[in-house]
Homo-oligomer: A and B are copies of this chain.
Amino acid sequence: MVHPPDRPRGGDFARQCSERNEDTHARRHLRKPTNRGANPGAPVVAIHRESHYASLHLYHFIAPPGPLISPMTYCLAIALDEGLVFCSDSRTNAGPDRVSTYSKMHRFSVPYDRSLVLLSAGNLATSQAVVAQIQRDLEGDDKGRFNLLKAKYVSEVAEYVGELSVREQAKYSGDNAPGAGFNAGATFILGGQVKGQPQELYLVYPEGNHITASEQHPYLQIGETKYGKPILDRIIRPDTPAETAMRCALVSMDSTVRSNATVGPPIECLFYRADSLQPQSRYFKLEEHHPYLARLRKAWDDNIRQAFDNLPTLSEVFDAEAGRH
């Protein structure tokens, strides 16, 4: 496990980094930002060099070891003409008495050169091992090894994430493996842009292969996907404005939270504007009792009831049925 270097105290990235770890789990273990490095149980990793052109920012969260499983995560990403929208919940569970909060959104960026966002669902140990290996490859001295800085296309990174994931899962899949029998599978959404290329969005399967979004199907989902799918089908098109798409992602997420107790806030939402090559154009994290989330829920519930009440009644069907008798 890699321990974090000193983190810069000021600037946008330090603030983002601190925002990213304001979840309940982080707060419980880490009272003050300056204590983070001293707590090996929940370290925060951030690589930061001073030059904007050469700096690489890695914001993620390393959990206690063990085969924690989060099959009921829900993450989605949307490919818009304007850019990419990412949204993820933060709940994991390995049984009803082991429900925890972990960020599932990992951001990697070198401003003006490349910006990548990785969302993960499935086995938490596997997805965290993949993120940790991405970071070790970036820090390592083995010049021959692939890393994020060498990728010319986002699809190369998708291939690389698939390989890391399959390698990690293989440790548990043989008949003689220590954990044989449990599901070590993890699924990823990877999106972003490398300078000189268009933005790209991929879903990486547990088997390591990947698919991309399309004009006709401009979004990708992983985890508990069904409850939140109908609203995406109705609203999302490539020319949907970013604010509308982020709002739709929140509604989709909230329908899932309502129907499945193992998906839950904080909800993270990020918008990457195409060709900006910045870590993000918009980012927010909504805790369970955030006033906007409460207002959104109430309004959606009221509006859905009204939408239902305004449907044509069945009287015409009943009349036709009565006419036949």
Q: Could you tell me if A311 and B325 are in contact, using CB atoms closer than 8 angstroms?
A: no
Q: Could you tell me if B292 and A316 are in contact, using CB atoms closer than 8 angstroms?
A: yes
Q: How many residues of A are counted as interface, with CB atoms below 8 angstroms from the partner's CB atoms?
A: 48
Q: Which of A34-42, A91-99, A247-255 contacts B (4 or more CB under 8 A)?
A: A247-255
Residues in chain B near residue A296, CB distance under 8 A: 311-312
Q: Could you tell me if B317 and A292 are in contact, using CB atoms closer than 8 angstroms?
A: yes
Residues in chain B near residue A303, CB distance under 8 A: 306-308, 310-311
Decide if A284 is an interface residue (CB 8 Å cutoff).
yes
Chain A interface secondary structure, helix, strand, loop or mixed? helix
- Of B284, B316, B318, which is within 8 A of A282 by CB? B318
- Of B226, B284, B299, B312, which is within 8 A of A311 by CB? B299
Decide if A304 is an interface residue (CB 8 Å cutoff).
yes
Residues in chain B near residue A313, CB distance under 8 A: 243, 247
0 or 1 for each of A227-246: is its CB under 8 Å from B? (1 = yes): 10111011100000001001
A301-B234 Cα distance, complex, nearest whole Å: 7
Q: A15-B324, A226-B259, A227-B229 are in contact. Are A235 and B308 (CB under 8 A)?
A: yes
A262-B259 Cα distance, complex, nearest whole Å: 23
A305-B307 Cα distance, complex, nearest whole Å: 9
Decide if A217 is an interface residue (CB 8 Å cutoff).
no
A15-B233 Cα distance, complex, nearest whole Å: 40
A248-B314 Cα distance, complex, nearest whole Å: 11
Of all A-B residue pairs in the complex, the 9 with the closest CB atoms, nearest first, are: A303-B307, A226-B226, A307-B307, A292-B317, A284-B317, A299-B311, A230-B255, A295-B312, A284-B321
A binding-site residues for B, Cβ under 8 Å? 12, 15, 226-227, 229-231, 233-235, 243, 246-248, 250-251, 255, 258-259, 282-284, 286, 292, 295-296, 299-301, 303-308, 310-318, 320-321, 324-325
